[in-house]
């Protein structure tokens, strides 16, 4: 009996701790987590924000997890100090709630290995994530409005802007500041641009900044509403850059059915040669940084950077057109080895969906699990379709899609929706949702716009022998492959990088899975006669909560993390 295994994982934004017991612990009311920082003799008991049902508390109050224990076997430490090496141990707390005590030390876990809260766990690869989850308790307790939140994210230095944009914004600004300091050239291809800090940083680079600026999410005229067409979302910024900066701006004003959808930057070295590449899902906008889940990746590889530099020139020369040469060149990927990792880089548009065929073949070869975040890949022949066809009894599958590409009439994601009962299969693919009704411990949550998940990433076997990470601007469907300017990098055998992305994906999944189920129960309640766990609005003052982790998808998740 007791905690037999515990591991800690970390990326640039958080540490995740996972543990397991060989059997339920009698009278256990949950676990306390203890953290030690390398170089310090003292330790910290991690706090929690939810106590036991019926306990009196103040709004937003937190207590040490020795007082309000964790009734789970997985916990994310979002207060983990950046850049520090940390280790953790779990301590069972024995009840009842009114008189909790630590279990005998023989039941405690060992200390985990040290983990560093940062990126670069695979050399030459750095992954960055924001905290763009607006429907959260942290924001709900502030009771924002759309106007007040818009003002906050538009304002450099605002605490909510800094919190929501996280390490992603910091990394981008640091890269641009270093480019200015070193006096090197950058070559950027951007879909949307309106963030004030990023615009200022680009202007500071001046004539060393070469920018292909797309037309963004242009809109057709709406005759019913009487609204005119908006062919260039970046019109105001474009005019400002042309008139009030020395940036070399190249307009790429494409129209339907195309999007100039890239978000990449090539950084050159002091000799003028391409040296590193930034890509990922993040639009250079206030919403891209702050109100959508996004990722960015920096890859230090002169050959890969040179391939993207070549593509940048082709996009610049194409103007507003799509010559056959773009698709022809895009149909052959750039390939390079970076240390022990292998990278395949696809630049759309291309012919015959060859990038999707490559990605689908890799998904079919997954041995342990498939994790993903997606915006809207489309209804047919997408990577989402491929993943939905996998057997969740044979693979651990967890992912979040911003919206169901099939719509309400022909939904692709067969899950609980609008009060309907959960399917019998494990809930492996979910949609984001906000808590519609508060409770004793939880406030009603706030949504900002329809785009909540904007990241485009698939991770295969992150803790296995051959991990794979796929990410970029690519929405992972046929339109991105055949119609848009887009890019997709496929990275094999980069275990540290795969772990960093897995932490991010499973953290987002865990947040929205709990909210989705809780919001449905609060709004509608389970169907009559349906099997369900008790309504959760605080910890249970018994030891039966452990039963949820002895079988089923919760047990499988722990086993997936711990191998």
Give me the pLDDT at residue 407, please. 83
The pTM for the full model equals: 0.95
Position of tokens 């706030």? 446
Answer whether 164's CB lies under 8 Å from 154's CB: no
Question: Cα dist. 49→57, 258, 266, 378, 537 in Å?
Answer: 10, 46, 43, 39, 12
Question: Cα dist. 297→16, 123, 228, 389 in Å?
Answer: 20, 13, 37, 29
- Per-residue DSSP letter, 83: T
Residue spans of beta strands (DSSP E) within 215-288: 248-252, 263-268, 274-280
Write out 95-123 in H/E/C secondary structure: CCHHHCEECCHHHCCCCCCCEECCCCCEC
Per DSSP bridges, beta strands 334-338 and 295-300 are: unpaired
Domains of the chain are 3-118+533-562 (2.60.40.10), 125-515 (3.30.870.10)
Closest residue by Cα to residue 294 from 382, 215, 375, 218 = 375
Distance CA 318, CA 270 (A): 28
Distance CA 112, CA 97 (A): 27
DSSP string, 435-478: --S--SS-PPP----S--B---EEEE-TTSSS-EEEEES--SSH
Answer whether 494's CB lies under 8 Å from 125's CB: yes
Q: CB within 8 A of 293, min separation 6: which ones? A: 129, 130, 132, 133, 373, 400, 452, 453, 454, 455, 508
Give me the pLDDT at residue 518, please. 55
Give me the pLDDT at residue 421, please. 42
- Per-residue DSSP letter, 528: T
SS3 content of the chain, % helix, strand, coil (to 5): 30, 25, 45
Position of tokens 């249970």? 540
Distance CA 269, CA 275 (A): 6
Count how many residues are written for the chain. 563
Distance CA 390, CA 208 (A): 47
| 339-376 exposure pattern, b = at least 16 Cβ within 10 A, e = fewer | eebebbbbbbbbeebbbbeebbebbeebebbbbbbbbb
Give me the pLDDT at residue 319, please. 97
Answer whether 237's CB lies under 8 Å from 194's CB: yes
- Per-residue DSSP letter, 1: -
Answer whether 192's CB lies under 8 Å from 236's CB: no
Question: Cα dist. 502→129, 212, 291, 456, 523 in Å?
Answer: 12, 32, 21, 13, 31
Tokens for 522, please give them: 């609060």
Give me the pLDDT at residue 426, please. 58
Answer whether 274's CB lies under 8 Å from 309's CB: yes
Distance CA 9, CA 18 (A): 8
- 3 state DSSP class of 158: coil
CA dihedral sign of residues 189, 327, 337, 504? positive
Give me the pLDDT at residue 128, please. 98
One digit per residue, pLDDT tens: the chain, 563 residues? Answer: 799 999 999 999 999 999 999 999 999 999 999 999 999 999 999 999 999 999 999 988 999 999 999 999 999 999 999 999 999 999 999 999 999 999 999 999 999 999 999 999 999 999 999 999 999 999 999 999 999 999 999 999 999 999 999 999 999 999 999 999 999 999 999 999 999 999 999 999 999 999 999 999 987 777 888 888 889 999 999 999 999 999 999 999 999 899 999 999 999 999 999 999 999 999 999 999 999 999 999 999 999 999 999 999 999 999 999 999 999 999 999 999 999 999 999 999 999 999 999 999 999 999 999 999 999 999 999 999 999 999 988 999 999 999 999 887 787 875 544 444 444 455 688 889 888 878 888 888 889 999 999 999 999 999 999 999 999 999 999 999 999 999 999 999 999 999 999 999 999 999 988 665 554 454 443 343 334 444 567 999 999 999 989 888 889 999 999 98
Distance CA 283, CA 335 (A): 25
Phi then psi dihedrals of residue 316, to 5 deg = -60, -45
Give me the pLDDT at residue 515, please. 62
- 3 state DSSP class of 536: coil
């Amino acid at each position: 009996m007791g905690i037999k295994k515990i591991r800690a994982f970390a990326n640039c934004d958080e540490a995740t701790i996972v543990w397991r017991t060989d059997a339920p612990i009698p009278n256990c009311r949950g676990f306390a987590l203890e953290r030690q920082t390398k170089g310090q003799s003292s330790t910290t008991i991690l706090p929690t924000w939810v106590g036991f049902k019926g306990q009196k508390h103040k709004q937003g109050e937190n207590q040490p997890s020795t007082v309000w224990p964790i009734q789970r076997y997985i916990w994310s430490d979002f207060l983990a100090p950046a850049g520090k090496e940390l280790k953790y141990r779990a301590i069972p707390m024995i009840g009842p709630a009114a008189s909790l005590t630590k279990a005998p030390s023989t039941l405690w876990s060992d200390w985990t290995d040290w983990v560093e809260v940062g990126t670069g766990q695979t050399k030459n690869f750095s992954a960055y994530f924001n905290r763009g989850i607006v429907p959260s308790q942290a924001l709900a307790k502030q009771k924002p409005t759309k106007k007040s939140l818009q003002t906050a994210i538009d304002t450099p230095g605002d605490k909510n802007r800094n919190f929501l944009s996280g390490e992603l914004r910091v990394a981008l600004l640091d890269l641009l500041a270093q480019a200015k300091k070193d006096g090197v050239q950058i070559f950027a291809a951007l879909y949307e641009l309106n963030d004030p800090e990023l615009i200022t940083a680009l202007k500071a680079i001046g004539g060393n900044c070469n920018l292909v600026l797309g037309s963004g999410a242009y809109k057709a005229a709406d005759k019913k509403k009487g609204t005119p067409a908006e062919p260039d979302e970046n019109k105001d910024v474009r005019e400002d850059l042309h008139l009030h900066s020395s940036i070399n701006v190249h307009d790429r004003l494409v129209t339907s059915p195309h999007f100039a959808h890239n978000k990449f930057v090539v950084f050159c070295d002091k000799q003028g040669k391409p040296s590193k590449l930034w890509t990922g899902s993040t639009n250079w906008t206030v919403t891209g940084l702050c109100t959508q889940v996004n990722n960015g990746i920096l890859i230090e590889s002169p050959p890969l950077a040179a391939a993207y530099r070549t593509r940048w020139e082709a996009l610049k020369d194409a103007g507003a057109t799509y010559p056959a040469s773009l698709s022809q060149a895009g149909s052959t990927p750039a390939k390079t080895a970076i240390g022990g990792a292998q990278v395949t880089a696809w630049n759309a548009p291309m012919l015959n969906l060859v990038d999707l065929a490559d990605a689908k073949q890799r998904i079919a070869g997954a041995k342990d699990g498939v994790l993903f975040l997606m915006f809207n890949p489309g209804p047919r022949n997408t990577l989402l379709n491929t993943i939905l066809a996998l057997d969740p009894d044979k693979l651990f599958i967890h992912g979040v899609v911003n919206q169901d590409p099939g719509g309400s009439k022909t939904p692709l994601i067969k899950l609980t929706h609008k009060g309907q009962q959960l399917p019998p299969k494990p809930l492996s693919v979910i949609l984001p949702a906000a808590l519609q009704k508060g409770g004793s411990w939880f406030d009603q949550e706030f949504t900002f716009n329809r785009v909540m998940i904007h990241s485009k990433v698939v991770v295969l076997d992150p803790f296995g022998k051959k991990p794979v990470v796929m990410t970029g601007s690519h929405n992972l469907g046929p339109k991105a492959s055949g119609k848009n300017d887009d890019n997709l990098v496929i990275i094999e055998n980069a275990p540290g990088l795969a772990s960093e992305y897995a932490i991010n994906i499973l953290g987002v999944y865990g947040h929205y899975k709990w909210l989705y189920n809780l919001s449905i129960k609060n709004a509608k309640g389970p169907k009559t006669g349906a099997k369900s766990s008790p309504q959760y609005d605080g910890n249970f003052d018994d030891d039966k909560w452990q039963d949820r982790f002895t079988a089923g998808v919760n047990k499988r998740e722990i086993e997936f993390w711990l191998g």
